[in-house]
Amino acid sequence: MRCLSVILIFIFTLCHAGTYHPAIEYIFPLPESGLHSPQVTIFLRLHEELHHDIQNLNTFINITGDESVFHGQVIMSSDSRTIIFKPDQNFPLNNTVYVNILTTQIGYTDFNYYFTIASQNTNYLPAVEDFDSHAEIPISTSSAGQIRLINGVAVPSDFPQIEAHQYGETAPGYIFISSNFKSSGIGNYLIMCENDGTPYCYRHFNIPHNIANFVHQSTGVFSAYFFAPEYHVILDSTFAPIDLYRPGHGYAGDDHEFTILENGHALMTMEQHLTIDMSQVVNAGDSHAIVQGNMFQEFDADKNVIFEWRSWDHLNIEDASNSMLRESNIDYVHLNSIAIDYDGHYVISNRHMDEVMKINRETGEIIWRFGGVHNQFEFINDNLRFSYQHCVKPVPGHPNHYTMFDNGNN
């Protein structure tokens, strides 16, 4: 057992990932994996500098199906390491896709494998090529109604009522709020305010759906998640939309995590809902249950997906001990945060599994699991484990230190 102190300090040994092929460090989709979106792309990274030895990138990846050959474009990501095959058309449902990697070009035997596409239509979004990433979002600088004052600042009548109680010296900076239009009499606002509740900057949006996850990114821009049609909006200093991000591979969006990294890459959580016969998983399970899988993706600076991690590939549904596995709708993972650790790998929070997990950013393999039924740590001076946690983040400048909000539901 690894040891963990009550203030979440622990030491571990990094596991070196095995590979399916001696030249390939990471590949997606995983060999023999299933339940993939018809819009999935194929991508891989080679060990070290082997990608420089590729003789013909256009023919390096070849794709066939059960009854057809799939044409597409093979490109090198802006990270100069990830090779991506983008099909010209969606893969058919319930189809087996055969992948041929011509690693003979770099002095190795060719690598052949297969994966399968989901057999059912689910909540896939339109293909990226059909999506206008600069579509106009209706906005206005104010909303209808009488004007009122908050600490001397004029705001519209449907502006949220902010009440602040200060009990000591506050940290520097502003507070970010996204209001909920479903609340009676409150408009849909993004708000930056002083610690005493005085509005500093705000914008009203004329849209009939919620906005969430309003944050200031490390690159200087702002972002917020719009619940329809499920995308993250990039905002300038006046909170006006300037760009959009949406999940790759047609997945439904998710408001929990969107982070733009300093190198221009981005991290994003997403969902996939599939009908699964849960009677084969638990006694008296629903034979047509809607089960939500979770995944996260890393995008390069050109918005290409260069890494994807899926709960279907790594987590067992029955390990979500607190979920109602006999219900008709099951959310067994509820991935609610991603962060980059001090050593460059991912740290994620799987809320409904009571689990924090570290994942190798190069290979996709699990490095360690903290909490849940597969816990690898000893809890010191703590008789109650955390449960249904949120927002697990590394502490900058302090390796192996993390913060966590323990909801303590269980």
Per residue in 186-208, pLDDT (tens digit) is: 778 999 999 999 999 999 888 77
pLDDT on residue 88: 94
Secondary element (H or E) of residue 114: strand 111-116
pLDDT on residue 37: 94
Yes or no: domain 24-121 corresponds to CATH 2.60.40.3710: yes
Average pLDDT by stretches of 10, the chain with 410 residues:
40 44 96 95 94 95 92 96 96 95 96 94 56 53 68 88 89 89 74 93 85 93 87 92 91 93 95 94 93 96 97 94 87 96 97 97 96 95 92 96 95
CA separation for the pair 387, 172 (Å, rounded): 31
Token readout for 403 is: 């913060």
| DSSP classification of residue 66 | S
What CATH number was assigned to the domain covering residues 2-15+172-405?
2.40.128.630
Domain map of the chain by residue range? 2-15+172-405, 24-121
For residue 136, list its beta bridge partners: none
pLDDT on residue 321: 74
CA separation for the pair 307, 309 (Å, rounded): 7
Tokens 């991508």 found at: 43
Pairing of strands 189-193, 175-178: antiparallel
Q: Taking a C-beta distance cutoff of 8 angstroms, is the pair 336, 348 a contact?
A: no
3-class DSSP assignment, residue 128 = helix
pLDDT tens sequence across 224-259 = 998 877 889 999 999 988 899 999 999 988 999 999
